Structure 1
Amino acid sequence: MKKILYLNIIVIILILVVNVAIFYGINLPLPFDFKGDFKEYGTEYILIILLIIGLLAYLIASVKIRQNNFKNKFLSTFLILNSLFLAFLVFEGTSVYIKKKKQLTLLENEYIKQAKKDIENDSVTYKFAGGLAVSDYNEETENKIDNIYKKYGVTYFSIGCSIDFMDIKAQEKYQETVKSYLIKRNGKNWEEKMKSEIEKIKTDF
């Protein structure tokens, strides 16, 4: 009986682990944050399902078949039902992960194509998340800053406050594609030089 009990504990732990994995599969490529995302895992629903499975196992074990021990019948039935539930979660989780992975790959390919197009047009665009802050500088200073960006062949574009982790992850392919081009175009450490020029304009304001 102890062996069956231990197996039940292992299967329940695996169910909880797989449930967490499914959450990150659905939200691919969300960074792992167990403490921060704990409330989003839906663990309470898994526990409710386990209670239902336990009740079902109890009812099945209550049916008198030969002289089998009730505890053995309950634990065995509970193990079988939990194993089926685990198999279902693994199947669903794998399906979701594959689907999300395909979506990410397609989005990455789109960014690579866009990067090549922007390189041809000599106009690289870096997207970033953030609100539309009110500028502290006058129009003349803003134009000077924009001219520096143009000098280095880059543009910075705000996509708003909402954060799409899949889009952010896919943008890495864009950045990888344009990186060597911008170094060849502007020289090494071009970003530091650009920031230095912009800071000088801001200081002179």
Structure 2
Amino acid sequence: MVSKKLLTINIVVVLLLISAHTLGGYLIMYPMKPDIWTVVSESSPQYLLIALALFAVIAWLISHLRIKNVKPENKFLLAYTILCGVLLTFIIYFDAATYISTRKAIRESENEYIQQAKEDIKKDKIMYRFAGGLSIPQYDAKTQNKIDSIRKKFGVTYFNTGCMVDVIDR
């Protein structure tokens, strides 16, 4: 007879593992605000399913070991719960560390931008940095001349940082 308490704990741990794995996909993509399908697909659920299947095989093998006073079904559930718990701990640690380091890098970058903007304002010469690579004219000559005159009037200078942008520089 399978222990109902052990079965309940196992189900809770597996559900937490699935939730943490999916939520981790969202945290890793921070600061983007993706939809639920993007989060699920980016979290690569197939790898979690492979891990769960591998854990089932390992737990099945462990359940065949002779351990006094423990039924094979309970040995399986206990081993499976422990393996899933270890993976859950690893996922939470890894995803939290990635999220924290990304947030820290974004804050540092924002503080640099704020400091640079303050210096630009003191110099009365504003630098607008953007990522764009080779630009394609979006406006006709008349509109472009108006934009340029406003830019010159208020001392705004454009600086193209290139076409490669990571999440932090957005």
Partners of 1:62 and 1:70 within 8 A in 2: yes
Aligned partner of 1:145 among 144, 147, 162: 147
Matches within 5 A, 1:110-125: 110-125=112-127
Aligned partner of 2:63 among 61, 64, 67: 61
| Structure 1: tracts of 5 or more residues without a match | 169-205
Give the 3 Å change call, closer, same or farther, for CA 136–103 of structure 1 in structure 2.
Answer: closer
Q: Which amino acid aligns with 1:38?
A: V
The answer as to 2:110 corresponding to 1:90 is: no
Give 1:153 deviation, angstroms.
Answer: 4.3
Give the 3 Å change call, closer, same or farther, for CA 124–13 of structure 1 in structure 2.
Answer: farther
Partners of 2:26 and 2:39 within 8 A in 1: no
Using structure 1 for the length normalisation, give the TM-score. 0.69
Q: Distance in 1 between matches of 2:78 and 2:66?
A: 15
Of the structure 1 ranges 31-40 and 55-64, higher mean CA displacement relative to structure 2 is found in 31-40
Match of 1:15 in 2: 17
| Structure 2: tracts of 5 or more residues without a match | none
Partners of 1:22 and 1:93 within 8 A in 2: yes
Give 1:151 deviation, angstroms.
Answer: 2.6
Q: What fraction of aligned residue pairs are identical, expressed as a percent?
A: 38
Using structure 2 for the length normalisation, give the TM-score. 0.81
Q: Distance in 2 between matches of 1:76 and 1:141?
A: 71
Aligned partner of 2:135 among 98, 112, 132: 132
Q: Distance in 1 between matches of 2:8 and 2:34?
A: 29
Give 1:96 deviation, angstroms.
Answer: 1.6
Give the 3 Å change call, closer, same or farther, for CA 2–91 of structure 1 in structure 2.
Answer: same
Q: Distance in 2 between matches of 1:96 and 1:135?
A: 38
- Larger relative helix fraction: 1
Q: Any idea what the Cα deviations from partners look like across 1:57-83, whole Å, max 9, x if unmatched?
A: 110011122353221111111111111
Q: Which amino acid aligns with 1:90?
A: I
Give 1:133 deviation, angstroms.
Answer: 2.9
